[in-house]
Structure 1
Amino acid sequence: MKVSWQLFIGLALFYVLMTVIYWQVGGEPVGIGGMLLAAALAGMVGFYVWFTQRRIGQILPEDNLTALISDGAGELGFYSPHSWWPLPVALSMCALTLSLIIGWWLTVISLGALVISIIGMVTEYEKPIAVSAH
């Protein structure tokens, strides 16, 4: 991960440098804003990867030049095999976007549907706490 965060931080610095050059050449404000946003996004990803690498505190096979492919074997995490929750999230986000054209009344309804579907997607694999009756 050491190479990963260095790559993203370097990319963020490159975008900042290119933004300054573009601004000095007389670039349009939309391009300057877009390049600054790209720098911010690359910086956020670089910071997240750096923070995660510091928290884990171990050398990963990607950082070891003499590592074998089998060194990276093992469980990588939990990935949902199938889930229906992305469909309501996408549909409610689509309705929220269209509500800006159709009317504000639809914004309230679709925002509520979006919040409910995001909560459902995030808590899909949470197990309820069993309350024992005395």
Structure 2
Amino acid sequence: MRAEAWMFGATTAFFLLVSPAYWFITYDWTGTSALTMTTLLAAMVTLYLGFHAARMDPRPEDLKDAEIADGAGELGFFPPYSWWPLWCALTLGTIVYAVALGAWWLVIIGGALGAIALSGWIFEYYRGEHAH
């Protein structure tokens, strides 16, 4: 995680230099506030990564003499394809479109179909081909 901490540290330094320069060039409060908050966010991530990098065992990516085989092993669970996010997005789009039109009867239909799609997405690993 040291490499990531250094990358975010460089980003923090960049935004620390750009924020006052932006203010002196444009005198724009909105952009300066956004750049200042971006600087603080990058600093927060830098401190978090640096704090945890100092307290954990180095990963194979952090060692200069590591071999490719050192990073072998279980990488985690990667879900297979799923159609449920498509149905959830379509029902949400239907609900938003119905609100824009003022068709409240369509909001109710979209909400009911959305509840079915969301429950299908939540429970897709409990039944069928990909059940655990």
* Counterpart Cα distance in 1 of 2:80 and 2:121: 13
Q: Please tell me the root mean square deviation across aligned C-alpha atoms, in Å.
A: 4.1
* Counterpart Cα distance in 1 of 2:116 and 2:43: 31
The alignment's TM-score, normalised by the length of structure 2, stands at 0.59
Establish whether residue 72 from structure 1 lines up as the match of residue 71 from structure 2: yes
Does the C-alpha gap of structure 1 residues 112 and 67 become closer, same or farther in structure 2, counting only changes over 3 Å? farther
Size of the alignment, in residue pairs?
126
* Counterpart Cα distance in 2 of 1:112 and 1:46: 44
* Counterpart Cα distance in 2 of 1:126 and 1:68: 39
* Counterpart Cα distance in 2 of 1:97 and 1:37: 31
Does the C-alpha gap of structure 1 residues 12 and 124 become closer, same or farther in structure 2, counting only changes over 3 Å? farther
Establish whether residue 23 from structure 1 lines up as the match of residue 23 from structure 2: yes
Which consecutive residues of structure 1, in runs of 5 or more, have no partner in the other structure?
A: 128-134
Deviation at residue 42 of structure 1 after TM alignment: 4.0
2:101 alignment partner in structure 1: 102
State, as a whole percentage, how many aligned pairs show the same letter. 34
Deviation at residue 59 of structure 1 after TM alignment: 0.9
Greater Cα shift, 2-11 or 40-49: 40-49
Equivalence map 1:1-134=2 (5 Å)? 1-26=1-26, 28-36=28-36, 38-39=38-39, 42-43=42-43, 46=46, 49=49, 53=53, 57-95=56-94, 98=97, 101-103=100-102, 105=104, 121=121, 124-125=124-125
Structure with the higher fraction of residues in helix conformation: 2
Deviation at residue 77 of structure 1 after TM alignment: 0.9
Greater Cα shift, 7-16 or 118-127: 118-127
* Counterpart Cα distance in 1 of 2:113 and 2:46: 33
* Counterpart Cα distance in 2 of 1:36 and 1:110: 41
Greater Cα shift, 89-98 or 115-124: 115-124
